[in-house]
Amino acid sequence: MSNSSEIRVFAPATVANVACGYDVLGFAIDSPGDEIVVRHCDKPGLHITQITGDGGKLPKNPTQNCAGVAALDLLKHLGMTDRGIEMEIHKKMPFGSGLGSSSASSVAGAFAVNKLIGEPLTKKQLLPFAMAGEASADGAWHADNVAPCLFGGIVFIRSNDELDFAQIPAPKNLWAAVVHPDIEVLTKVARGILPKEIPLENATQQIGNLGGLLCGLIQEDYGLISRSIHDVIAEPRRQKLIPDFYKAKRAAISAGALGFSISGAGPSVFALCEGEEIAHKVADAISKVFHAIPIENQAYVSRINPTGVHVIES
């Protein structure tokens, strides 16, 4: 096949939950992210021909691979399952990291195939297919990684069931410092650690903080953002799965972060910062805490990515 019929896409990592936004808020960062290449082929059906960067862990059977599931779900919806399509998956971020790895692959899979076949659907219309991919990997029906990965920016999910969401403008100078410590936190464990019931008082605090964060983001009020980035529900329970979590938090705040919490279900952590310079200092400060344990870790500094998944040069 010629190069012109090959599509290469990049889907960014995402930070979900965002402290007080448990299950309802997420944002995209510039990097890391996954790349997926798709091209037409003569053999009918979807074929995953290559996976790199996964340490051999991901299945090539498209029905067992989240990128494959998202693409197949889309092709089924369009009545095109007999199309011959080859897919290469290049994982460029750790999975099980709390950075929306399976969401990135799911989004990239659906988006790339949609592009290849002439873009019959809009990004918004791709959301349920990407979510189906994510659900196959994660077992849950959540848009808080998938939606920001697809659309970019900060996305607020009113209802996962209804796929009802709103895009929140990101303040121009808002940067994220994200650090991934090389430890494993199973999503199952991170979910199991959450209680089924919480005090009404905590719910009210969380609602106050979530509303404050949304208002702060929309009104570009960094002070209000900072006062609002508190999670009284998941963080106090999940922090024990991340060594020296509070030490890292203190280091981030001391270095000037607006706030600090767990990215998704962890083990990655994130800080929101006003400006790139502070974000670099904060990332360094967090990274040092993990290194001192010692735990290997990768630090990423990024503005809020405004674009989400997109085509890149082959």
Residues acting as catalytic residues: 134, 187
User: Would you count residue 199 as binding a second copy (CB under 8 A)?
Assistant: yes
What backbone torsions phi and psi does residue 215 show, to the nearest 5 degrees?
A: -60, -45
User: Would you count residue 76 as binding a second copy (CB under 8 A)?
Assistant: no
Q: What is the DSSP letter of 19?
A: G
Q: What is the DSSP letter of 171?
A: P
Helix (H) / strand (E) element for 227: namely helix 222-228
Minimum distance between the CB of residue 97 and a second copy, rounded to whole angstroms? 23
CA distance 78 to 120: 9
Q: Residue count at the site for a second copy (CB under 8 A)?
A: 41
User: Would you count residue 196 as binding a second copy (CB under 8 A)?
Assistant: yes
Tell me which of 206, 239, 297, 302 binds a second copy, using CB under 8 A.
Answer: 206
User: Would you count residue 236 as binding a second copy (CB under 8 A)?
Assistant: no
Nearer to a second copy, 117 or 190 (CB): 190
What is the contact mask toward a second copy in residues 129 to 158, using x (rule: CB under 8 A)?
---------------------------xxx
Q: Is the peptide bond before 243 cis (omega within 30 degrees of 0)?
A: no
Minimum distance between the CB of residue 202 and a second copy, rounded to whole angstroms? 8
Say if residues 56 and 89 touch (Cβ distance below 8 Å).
no
User: Would you count residue 58 as binding a second copy (CB under 8 A)?
Assistant: no
Which amino acid type is present at position 211? G
271 marked as part of a ligand binding site? no
**Which residues on adjacent β-strands are paired with residue 160?**
none
* DSSP string across 254-277: HTT-SEEEESTTSS-EEEEEESHH
Residues lying near a second copy in the complex (CB under 8 A): 21-25, 156-159, 162, 164, 166, 168, 194-200, 202-212, 214-216, 218-219, 221, 224, 227-228, 233
